[in-house]
């Protein structure tokens, strides 16, 4: 039953992290600078020989993706303390992988229709702003973005490893703490068998005060007469 509960938490973490990829894609779309291009016969060309916008777009996605993975890992680690472990890490990594794909697809598609319409209606030599897109593309058996899309998952895995390495609990989950009051009371208890434990003070008998009604007696037991 415990494993089923952990699987449920891991699946929930993966789903939430994947959905948050829409926010990552929108944030990248807002921050990444557009690329001005000039329409020519048969397509378009850059307005500058070596524009910086494509590199800036890739760099901004890399920074945001790593920060996304690290931040979500810290939040999940702090909130779901009782669900820490390999299954939680698996849920984080899978959710971050899906979030990376969603973020790239969303960020590139937000202005695509508007850009296509503007480029179609533009005259030759007219400059049109192209929305940001990932230019560092490495296809692996037909899968695009084989490198940069893994950055959210990489940030999650690395930050989780650091948190696990610095955890004071071997099982990563908080263990029940002993009651400090019980420890204090047990340490102050007097054990007669322990010679180092100080013996509790014995109350001193009160001495009779003069005129208290107790008269002195002689050796034979008769009251001592005053002289």
- Distance CA(93)–CA(90), nearest Å, equals 5
What is the model's pLDDT at position 48? 79
Number of domains in the chain: 1
Residue 188 in any domain: the answer is no
Residue 210 in any domain: the answer is no
What is the model's pLDDT at position 93? 93
What is the model's pLDDT at position 182? 47
Residue 192 in any domain: the answer is no
Residue 175 in any domain: the answer is no
Residue 226 in any domain: the answer is no
Q: Which domain holds residue 160?
A: 2-165
Residue 191 in any domain: the answer is no
10 Å Cβ neighbour count for 67? 15
β-sheet bridge partners, residue 71: none
What is the model's pLDDT at position 143? 57
What is the model's pLDDT at position 204? 64
Residue 189 in any domain: the answer is no
What is the model's pLDDT at position 125? 79
Give residue 191's Cα distance to chain centre. Answer: 47
Give residue 45's Cα distance to chain centre. Answer: 44
Residue 183 in any domain: the answer is no
Question: pLDDT per position in the chain (227 positions), as tens?
Answer: 477 887 888 889 999 999 999 999 999 999 988 888 888 887 778 787 878 888 888 889 999 999 999 999 999 988 988 878 888 899 999 999 999 999 998 988 888 888 878 878 878 878 888 888 887 765 555 555 667 888 999 999 999 889 888 777 666 666 665 444 444 445 544 455 555 555 556 666 555 555 555 454 555 555 555 54
- Distance CA(85)–CA(89), nearest Å, equals 6
pTM for the whole structure: 0.68
């Amino acid at each position: 039953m415990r494993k089923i509960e952990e699987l449920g938490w891991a699946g929930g973490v993966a789903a939430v992290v994947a959905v948050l990829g829409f926010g990552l894609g929108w944030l990248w779309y807002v921050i990444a600078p557009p690329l001005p291009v000039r329409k020519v016969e048969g397509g378009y060309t850059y307005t500058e020989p070596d524009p910086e916008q494509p590199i800036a777009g890739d760099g901004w996605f890399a920074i945001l993706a790593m920060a996304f993975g690290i931040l979500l890992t810290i939040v999940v680690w702090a909130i779901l303390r009782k669900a820490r472990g390999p299954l939680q890490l698996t849920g984080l990594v899978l959710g971050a992988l899906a979030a990376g794909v969603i973020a790239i697809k969303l960020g590139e598609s937000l202005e695509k229709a508007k850009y296509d319409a503007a480029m179609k209606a533009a005259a030759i030599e007219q400059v049109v702003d192209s929305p940001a897109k990932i230019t560092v593309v490495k296809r692996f058996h037909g899968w695009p973005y084989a490198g940069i899309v893994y950055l959210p998952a990489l940030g999650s895995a690395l930050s989780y490893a650091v948190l696990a390495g610095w955890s004071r609990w071997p099982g990563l989950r908080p263990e029940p703490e002993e009651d400090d009051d019980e420890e204090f009371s047990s340490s102050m208890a007097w054990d007669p068998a322990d010679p180092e434990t100080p013996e509790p003070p014995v109350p001193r008998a009160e001495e009779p005060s003069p005129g208290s009604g107790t008269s002195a007696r002689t050796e034979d037991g008769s009251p001592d007469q005053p002289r």
